[in-house]
């Protein structure tokens, strides 16, 4: 099952920059692990206001409970709120072909390592 997750991070005032950097580095490493495991499929950064941290993520999990385990394992979760939208296939999705070969088929099958191209979800 796939889930679209809007992740919004609010670092508490007064948090030392070095601590923020450490958590972000751990987040990037964990994102790579989750991509390798097939749980983190894609990450996007929507338009942001100054000082705003928000990321859209496409995740795969067996169910909502497993997704929660995945999200809870991410270091930025201590400062983050998540809005989860469960997704189901649409019959007109151009990415679903007779052999799963349409655009986006690689993302659904866990192809590539999108987190490796990202600095994490922050």
CB 9 within 8 A of CB 122: yes
Nearest-angstrom CA–CA distance, 67 and 25: 22
Specify the CATH number of the domain 2-117: 3.30.70.1060
β-pairing, 53-60 vs 40-44, is antiparallel
Specify the pLDDT at position 97: 66
**Segment 75-108, tens digit of pLDDT:** 999 999 999 999 999 999 998 765 444 344 444 4
Say if residue 25 is exposed, middle or buried (CB neighbours under 10 Å; 0-12, 13-18, 19+). middle
Specify the pLDDT at position 118: 41
**Segment 37-61, tens digit of pLDDT:** 999 999 999 988 887 899 999 999 9
CA 117-100-103 angle, to 5 degrees, is: 50
């Amino acid at each position: 099952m796939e889930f679209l997750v809007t992740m919004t991070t609010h670092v508490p005032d007064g948090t030392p920059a070095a601590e923020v950097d450490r958590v972000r580095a751990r987040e990037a490493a964990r994102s790579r692990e989750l991509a390798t495991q097939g749980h983190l499929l894609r990450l996007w950064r929507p338009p942001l206001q100054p000082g705003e941290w928000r990321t859209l993520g496409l995740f795969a999990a067996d169910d909502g409970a497993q997704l929660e385990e995945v999200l809870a394992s991410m270091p930025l979760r201590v400062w983050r709120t998540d809005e989860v939208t469960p997704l189901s296939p649409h019959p007109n999705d151009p990415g679903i072909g007779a052999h799963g070969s349409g655009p986006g088929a690689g993302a659904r099958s866990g192809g590539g390592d999108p987190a490796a191209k990202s600095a994490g979800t922050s």
